[in-house]
């Protein structure tokens, strides 16, 4: 069983997190550990038809963002990686300087120090030079930065097609076998 941490922060784009959780939930080889920030909870209400209870049902373990004694706050708790989706610029900034004031940033800091897979899905536009510097610093540390940039080679017909493609890219980066999304097959 591969333990995957999912952190949802307060940037717009909670639909990406929900879709990823739904797809991870369908993979029997994955155990989902979830942390949701207070602003993420608000965005879930604003941006989706889901309740927090609907989302937490998709996870195997749910943590309070203030629980700094949680299993995922320790390097001795082995995981297969972590995804922060969407990743607010506040969270990106905190990660780039090692500021761990909540369980999402602490768990990500642990993943970094243990040299495990950390994926962030930054959701902001336009990006300032500060945002770009923070993202570049994290990329140089080995963080996979996978912004939600749509692909059109697969001829998406719906918004869900675009969201599924994003989840496919994240699942691929985690090294998980899955059947979601349409891949490029050549010309």
In the structure encoding, which two tokens stand for residue 21, read together? 């959780």
Q: Is 145 exposed, middle or buried (0-12, 13-18, 19+ CB in 10 A)?
A: middle
DSSP lists the bridge partners of residue 119 as: 83, 144
- Cα–Cα distance between 88 and 115 in angstroms, integer? 22
pLDDT tens digits for 59-84?
999 999 999 999 999 999 999 999 99
pLDDT band at 181 (very low <50, low <70, confident <90, very high): confident
Q: Which residues contact 53 (CB under 8 A, 6 or more apart)?
A: none
Contact 104, 95 (CB under 8 A): no
- Please state the rounded mean pLDDT for residues 121-128: 96
Which residue is it, tokens 């570049």?
136
- Please state the rounded mean pLDDT for residues 146-153: 94
91 annotated to bind ligand: yes
106 annotated to bind ligand: no
12 annotated to bind ligand: yes
pLDDT tens digits for 16-65?
999 999 999 999 999 999 999 999 999 999 999 999 999 999 999 999 99
16 annotated to bind ligand: no
88 annotated to bind ligand: yes
48 annotated to bind ligand: no
74 annotated to bind ligand: no
10 annotated to bind ligand: yes
Calculate the alpha carbon distances from 31 to 35, 85, 131 in Å.
Answer: 14, 17, 32
11 annotated to bind ligand: yes
51 annotated to bind ligand: no
The pLDDT mean for the chain works out to: 96
14 annotated to bind ligand: no
Say yes or no: domain 2-173 is CATH 3.40.50.1950.
yes
Q: Is the peptide bond before 168 cis (omega within 30 degrees of 0)?
A: no
The full set of domain ranges for the chain reads: 2-173
Residue 185 is predicted with a pLDDT of 80
């Amino acid at each position: 069983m591969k333990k995957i941490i999912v952190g949802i922060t307060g940037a717009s784009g909670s639909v990406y997190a929900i879709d990823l959780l739904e797809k991870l939930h369908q993979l029997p080889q994955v155990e989902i550990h979830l942390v949701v920030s207070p602003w993420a909870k608000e965005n879930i209400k604003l941006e989706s038809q889901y309740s927090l209870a609907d989302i937490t049902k998709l996870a195997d373990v749910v943590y309070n963002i203030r629980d700094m004694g949680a299993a995922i706050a320790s390097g001795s708790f082995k995981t297969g990686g972590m995804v922060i989706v969407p990743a607010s610029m506040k969270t990106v900034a905190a990660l780039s300087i090692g500021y761990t004031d909540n369980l999402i940033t602490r768990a990500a800091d642990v993943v970094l120090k243990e040299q495990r897979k950390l994926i962030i899905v930054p959701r902001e536009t336009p990006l300032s030079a500060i945002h770009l510097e923070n993202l570049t610093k994290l990329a140089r540390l080995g963080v996979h930065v996978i912004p939600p940039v749509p692909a059109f080679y697969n001829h998406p017909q719906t918004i869900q097609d675009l969201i599924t493609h994003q989840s496919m890219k994240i699942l691929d980066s985690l090294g998980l076998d899955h059947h979601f999304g349409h891949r490029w097959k050549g010309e």
